[in-house]
Amino acid sequence: MNDDDTTEPAERDKIIAAEYVLGVLGADERREVERRLAQEPALASAVAFWEEQLGVLADEVAPVTPPQHTWSQIAAAIPAAAGARRTSLWQSLAFWRGFGIASATLAAASIAALAYFGFVPATRAPLMATLAGSSGQPNFVATVTATGDSLLVVPATLLTNDPRAIELWLILPNQQPRSLGLIKPGQPIRLTIPPDLAGRLVPDAALAVSLEPPGGSPTGQPTGPVIASGKLTSL
């Protein structure tokens, strides 16, 4: 890319991201892009854009059945102790809380929770929201269960020893927030969705979390600061 000095750095990065995904870079340039990906969200997001867009060109590649023994070699290469891994995900939740963790990891945490609680999605695509604070740091992940009648909320960041209650709200366009209940700072919780709201948790509906007096908002509307919010998206 050095031969394109007239281009702005940001613009040049967008091209580098595309070149990386397209596959035209040499080995050294590829390592350099990968090194930067971990530290530069803008570059990572440009790479994700092109992977998603260009990836569909694989439609033009004819599928070829791999030989039978390939699967047995893969199966032999992955650890057998599946149960242990679930536990360790939970144990490491405390560890995650101390750090600002990426939303991708958070999504994974919630996904693991989904599996842990036995909500293996069967009948409909699960809905999920990453609730982030004003700094963009994700604080909670909420997942609507496959049955659509409850919500699993996994906290992921360390909250201060604030005595206030933490209340979850459903925000629908042009409507007053509706309380979904109180959530706990340190542990995953399952909330039952009120029957009249069950059909309202749809993609693009938003969830928000506010700090309220102990016991929850006295007015039925958020009264304290909103510490996190996010939109539901379909898995």
Cβ closer to another protein: 141 or 211? 141
Position 4 contacts another protein (CB under 8 A): yes
- Check binding of 42 to another protein (CB under 8 A): no
Binding to another protein by CB under 8 A, coded x per residue (else -) over 6-25, reads --------xx--xx-xxxxx
In the complex with another protein, the residue whose CB is nearer, 22 or 94, is 22
CB of 182 to another protein, least distance (A): 26
Is there binding between residue 62 and another protein (CB under 8 A)?
yes
- Does the footprint of another protein cover residue 85 (CB under 8 A)? yes
Phi, psi angles (nearest 5°) of residue 192: -85, 130
Taking the C-alpha atoms of residue 227 and residue 214, their distance in angstroms, rounded to an integer, is 16
118 binds another protein (CB under 8 A): no
**Residue 84 is a binding residue for another protein (CB under 8 A):** yes
Residue 111 interacts with another protein (CB under 8 A): yes or no: yes
Site mask for another protein (CB under 8 A), range 148-167, x = bound: --------------------
Binding to another protein (CB under 8 A): which residues in 180-199? Answer: none
Q: Which residue ranges make up the site for another protein (CB under 8 A)?
A: 3-4, 14-15, 18-19, 21-27, 30, 48-49, 51-67, 70-71, 73-75, 77-78, 80, 82-86, 89, 103-105, 107-109, 111-112, 114-116, 120-122, 124-126, 128, 130, 233-235
